[in-house]
Amino acid sequence: MSDCCSSCCKQTSFPKKHKCPVNGKKYSLVSSSTIKHHIKDPWLWNETSQGYYFCSDPNCEVVYFGQDNSIIKKSSMRTEVGIKENNENSLICYCYGVTQKEAAENPDTRNFIIKETQQQNCACESRNPSGKCCLSDFPKQ
């Protein structure tokens, strides 16, 4: 099992950040494997050799985009993207199903996730649409 908090993308030939073609802000690289886990009908996706990025802006309909400015919108997702929904029932941790409300009301959820991460019991690269560890998304204590 890989370390979920390590860099998600082994490919170094692509820029680590790229501008979303819709909102113009820069976002981080995400693996094509992560995208395949979250889009509807991944077998229909025309993946090409380029960098892909995760747009975390809750006000933007784009979830993933490529260097060629191709986009994958919320409507093409089979997974609800918590950061895009931004409500108390939105997932903050995809490995253990922790919602924003649970994380805010119970600090033990964060401590549990820290422990599980240290024991490498998470699968953030595939389960989290961002491809990254969820710990930075938890409310500050």
> Residue 33: inside a domain, yes or no?
yes
What CATH number corresponds to the domain at position 34? 2.20.25.270
Verify that 54 and 89 share a domain, yes or no: no
- Calculate the alpha carbon distances from 7 to 2, 69, 70 in Å: 10, 23, 23
In terms of residue numbers, what domain contains 45? 17-76
Verify that 62 and 87 share a domain, yes or no: no
Q: For residue range 12-58, what is the model confidence (pLDDT) as tens digits?
A: 589 999 999 999 999 999 999 999 999 999 999 999 999 999 999 99
> Residue 4: inside a domain, yes or no?
no
Verify that 33 and 71 share a domain, yes or no: yes
Per the structure, how many domains does the chain have?
Answer: 2
Verify that 99 and 113 share a domain, yes or no: yes
> Residue 97: inside a domain, yes or no?
yes
pTM, rounded to two decimals: 0.87
Verify that 62 and 92 share a domain, yes or no: no
Determine the Cα–Cα distance for residues 131 and 34; give it in Å rounded to an integer: 6
CB 56 within 8 A of CB 76: no
